[in-house]
C-alpha cells in the first residue's frame, strides 16, 4: 500500500518534473518528448499545472508561466480587436482567424495542423492567474494586459461551437468549455469590476444549465445524454454549480458510474485514442471534487491510484492501458505518434492539486 510518505515524495517529484521542463521563457511544455505535443504549450494544461505549482508554494515558477501567457496574449491585442469588430458588425469570423489553443514556447502560433479553436483554455487561464494572485497576495496589474485580451476574446466568442478539451467535435457547444468560460470570466469580473465579463459568465452558466442537463446531471455537450471525464471541473474549480447542488452530486455520481474503474477515470465511453485508457489527470479531477464534497476516502483512493501508476522514474503518463475501452484502436495511435505521452506535465500538476486538497504538501 502506498504510504503518506510515498505520496508526499511523489508530490515533491512532480514539482521537480514540472520545473525541470519549464521553458526558459516561462511556458510549461505539455510533454517534452511526445511527438504530437513536443514544442508546444497549452493554456488549459498550463493553467492547471500552474495551479498545482502555486499550491506547492513555488510562486516564482507560476509567475513565470503567467508572465509568458500575459505576453503571448498582449501581443495579440490588435488581432483580438479586429476579431471583436467583425463580431460586433455581425460578420462571420472564419475559425482559422481565431486565437489558437496552443503556442510555441516563443509565443508564436504553431505551424503544424491542429484542432485549434478551443475557448476553454482562455477561461482556464483567467481562473488560474486570478486564483494564483489571490492566494499569494500578488498585484494582478502585471498580467492585466493579457487578462483584458482574454476577456475581450471570450466575451465576443463564448457562445460559438468549438473543439472540446480533447480536440474533438467542433460542431457542438461543450458543457466543460462553458464552465471554464464561466469560471474564468467570473474571476476576471471580480478583479476587474467588469460588468461585461460578469454578464457573459452568467450567460454561459444559464445556457449550460438550460440545455446541458439530462436526468439531473450535466452532459458532455448541449443536447447530449452522455457524460465526460472533464465534467467534474464544472463544479470544482469553475463553479458552474456549487458543491452541494443536486446537479453536482448527480454529475459526480454519473461520471463515477460510467467512467471510473478502480480509481482510474476514462475520458468518455466512445474514446478510441490509444484504445481509450484511463487518464491520471481526470482521476485527480474527480478526486479533487470528492475531497471538496467531504469524501476524503474517495479522494485518497484516486490519489493512490495515480501514485501507483507512476513510472519507475516517478513520471506520470497521460493515460494508462489497464482497462482499455476500445483495445483494437490502440496500436494505430502507437504507430502514428509513438508511446503515450510521458511525462505529461498536466498529470503532475493535477497530482499536486489533489495532494494539497488532502493536506499532503509540506
- Single out the catalytic residue among 58, 120, 164, 228: 164
Query: Is 96 a residue of the active site?
Result: no
Do you find a cis peptide bond into 132, omega within 30 degrees of 0? no
C-alpha R_g of the chain? 19
- Output the nine-digit C-alpha cell for 82: 479586429
Q: What is the largest CA-CA distance in the chain?
A: 61
DSSP notation for 119-143 = -HHHHHHHHHHHHHHHHHT--GGGG
Q: Are 330 and 318 in contact (CB under 8 A)?
A: no
Bridge partners of residue 40, in order along the sequence: 104
Element (H, E) at 260: strand 260-261
- Single out the catalytic residue among 58, 318, 356, 357: 318
CB atoms within 10 A of CB 242: 12
- Output the nine-digit C-alpha cell for 325: 475501452
Q: Which residues, other chains included, contact 2 with Cβ-Cβ below 8 Å and sequence gap of 6+? A: 304, 307, 308
DSSP 8-state assignment for residue 174:
B
Instruction: Determine the straight-line distance between the first and last CA of the chain, rounded to whole angstroms.
Output: 21
Query: Is 167 a residue of the active site?
Result: yes
Helix, strand, coil proportions of the chain in percent (round to 5)? 55, 5, 40
Q: Which residues, other chains included, contact 338 with Cβ-Cβ below 8 Å and sequence gap of 6+? A: 34, 35
- Single out the catalytic residue among 167, 211, 308, 315: 167
Q: At what angle do helices 43-56 and 120-136 cross, to 10 degrees?
A: 20
Report the side by side order of strands in the sheet with 319-320: 260-261, 264-266, 278-279, 319-320
What whole-number distance in Å separates Cα of residue 146 and Cα of residue 136?
A: 19
Bridge partners of residue 319, in order along the sequence: 279
- Output the nine-digit C-alpha cell for 321: 492501458
List active site positions.
Answer: 164, 167, 318
Amino acid at each position: 500500500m502506498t504510504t503518506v510518505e510515498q505520496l508526499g515524495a511523489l508530490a515533491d517529484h512532480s514539482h521537480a518534473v514540472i520545473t525541470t521542463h519549464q521553458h526558459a521563457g516561462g511556458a510549461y511544455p505539455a510533454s517534452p518528448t511526445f511527438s504530437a505535443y513536443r514544442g508546444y504549450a497549452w493554456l488549459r494544461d498550463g493553467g492547471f499545472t500552474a495551479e498545482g505549482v502555486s499550491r506547492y508554494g513555488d510562486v516564482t515558477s507560476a509567475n513565470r508561466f503567467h508572465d509568458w501567457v500575459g505576453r503571448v496574449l498582449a501581443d495579440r491585442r490588435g488581432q483580438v480587436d479586429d476579431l471583436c469588430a467583425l463580431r460586433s458588425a455581425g460578420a462571420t469570423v472564419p475559425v482559422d482567424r481565431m486565437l489558437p489553443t496552443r503556442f510555441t514556447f516563443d509565443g508564436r502560433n504553431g505551424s503544424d495542423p491542429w484542432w485549434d479553436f478551443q475557448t476553454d483554455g482562455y477561461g482556464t487561464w483567467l481562473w488560474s492567474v486570478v486564483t494564483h494572485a489571490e492566494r499569494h497576495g500578488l498585484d494582478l496589474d502585471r498580467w492585466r494586459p493579457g487578462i483584458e485580451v482574454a476577456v475581450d476574446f471570450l466575451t465576443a466568442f463564448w457562445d460559438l461551437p468549438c473543439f472540446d478539451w480533447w480536440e474533438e467535435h467542433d460542431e457542438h457547444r461543450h458543457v466543460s468549455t462553458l464552465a471554464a468560460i464561466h469560471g474564468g470570466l467570473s474571476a476576471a469580473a471580480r478583479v476587474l469590476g467588469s460588468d461585461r465579463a460578469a454578464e457573459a459568465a452568467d450567460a454561459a452558466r444559464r445556457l449550460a444549465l438550460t440545455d446541458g442537463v439530462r436526468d439531473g446531471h450535466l452532459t458532455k455537450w448541449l443536447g447530449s445524454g452522455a457524460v465526460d471525464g472533464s465534467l467534474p471541473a464544472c463544479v470544482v474549480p469553475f463553479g458552474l454549480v456549487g458543491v452541494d447542488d443536486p446537479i453536482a452530486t448527480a454529475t459526480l455520481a454519473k461520471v463515477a458510474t460510467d467512467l471510473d474503474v478502480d480509481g482510474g477515470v476514462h475520458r468518455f465511453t466512445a474514446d478510441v485514442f490509444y484504445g481509450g485508457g484511463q487518464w491520471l489527470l481526470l482521476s485527480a479531477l474527480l478526486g479533487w471534487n470528492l475531497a471538496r464534497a467531504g469524501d476524503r476516502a474517495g479522494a485518497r483512493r484516486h490519489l493512490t491510484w495515480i501514485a501507483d501508476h507512476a513510472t519507475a522514474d516517478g513520471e506520470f503518463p497521460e493515460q494508462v492501458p489497464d482497462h482499455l475501452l476500445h483495445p483494437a484502436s490502440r496500436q494505430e495511435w502507437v504507430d502514428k505518434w509513438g508511446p503515450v505521452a510521458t511525462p505529461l506535465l498536466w498529470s503532475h500538476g493535477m497530482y499536486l492539486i489533489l495532494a494539497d486538497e488532502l493536506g499532503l504538501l509540506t
